């Protein structure tokens, strides 16, 4: 019997959420261990399980993996969510990195002081509308296919949908000027594994609230 991947992180989105998305899209069930105390986090560090002293951490295939980008790359390759050749793979990496930049801005905004947080969230929506979403609208237009790379569902598609939904939580009308992205969102959201992950009760985590921020600050002591 195959052992399920085990994810170790805080009880929220952060840097683990894209990993949850990718596994869910691949139809892979996983277990989660939530870090809820400083002592628990320090034990992971003292045990040498966190290579660079940081989470996320994923146990899979007899390995203990850390570093978000490395984990995502491994999962994409393992579950056939990469390109058919190096040229497709580098484009998938490029698009995924772009959306990750946007998502990390959103995730980190929750930890800003209140007066800076609102300013940051406004800036994120502006950047989405003027930098990131125009780029992906053009990619879809130039490519002329249902997916971002080749004509096959990939990690890039998963992460773009995740980014779109995160920004829509800040501004529901953010796609109003991007018809191809609107169609892309509807199309990818209806892929059975994605559709299941978007249902209530799935491992998908809600946007970070003040309680989550307080808990993480307490654990990391910052």
pLDDT at residue 2, as a whole number:
66
Residue whose entry in the numeric block shows the structure tokens 């949850």: 20
**pLDDT (tens digit per residue) in 63-81:** 999 899 999 999 999 999 9
Within 10 angstroms of residue 170's Cβ, the number of other Cβ atoms is 15
Residue whose entry in the numeric block shows the structure tokens 């951490």: 57
**Res 195 pLDDT > 60:** yes
Q: Give the residue-averaged pLDDT of 137-160.
A: 93
Distance CA(64)–CA(51), nearest Å, equals: 9
pLDDT at residue 141, as a whole number:
94
Which has the higher per-residue pLDDT, 150 or 195? 195
**pLDDT (tens digit per residue) in 4-32:** 999 999 999 999 999 999 999 999 999 99
Residue whose entry in the numeric block shows the structure tokens 């390759």: 77
pLDDT at residue 213, as a whole number:
85
**pLDDT (tens digit per residue) in 87-108:** 999 999 999 999 988 888 888 8
Stated pTM of the model: 0.93
- CA 61 → CA 1, 55, 64, 91, distances in Å? 12, 18, 8, 27
DSSP string, the chain: -PPPPEEEE-SS-GGGHHHHHHHHHTT---EEEE--SHHHHHHHHHTT-STTS-S-EEEETTEEEESHHHHHHHHHHHTT-S-SSHHHHHHHHHHHHHHHHHHHHHHHHTTS-HHHHHHHHHHHHHHIIIIIHHHHHHHHHHH-SSSSSTTS--HHHHHHHHHHHHHHTT-TTTTTT-HHHHHHHHHHHTSHHHHHHTSTTSSPPPPP-HHHHHHHHHHHT-
């Amino acid at each position: 019997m195959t052992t399920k991947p085990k994810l170790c992180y805080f009880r929220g989105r952060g840097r683990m959420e894209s990993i949850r998305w990718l596994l869910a899209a691949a139809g892979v069930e996983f277990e989660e261990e939530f870090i809820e105390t400083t002592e628990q986090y320090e034990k992971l560090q003292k045990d040498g399980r966190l290579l660079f002293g940081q989470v996320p951490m994923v146990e899979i295939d007899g390995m203990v993996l850390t570093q978000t980008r490395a984990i995502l790359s491994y999962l994409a390759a393992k579950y056939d969510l990469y390109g058919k050749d190096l040229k497709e793979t580098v484009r998938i990496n490029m698009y995924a990195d772009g959306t990750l930049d946007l998502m990390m801005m959103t995730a980190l905004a929750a930890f800003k002081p209140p007066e800076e947080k609102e300013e940051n969230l406004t800036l994120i929506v502006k950047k989405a509308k003027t930098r990131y979403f125009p780029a992906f609208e053009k990619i879809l237009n130039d490519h002329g296919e249902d997916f971002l790379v080749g004509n096959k569902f990939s990690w890039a598609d998963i992460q773009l949908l995740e980014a779109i939904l995160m920004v829509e939580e800040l501004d529901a009308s953010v796609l109003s000027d991007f018809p191809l992205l609107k169609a892309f969102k509807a199309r990818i959201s209806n892929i059975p594994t994605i559709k299941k992950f978007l249902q209530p009760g799935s491992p998908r985590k809600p946007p970070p609230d003040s309680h989550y921020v307080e808990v993480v600050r307490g654990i990391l002591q910052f």
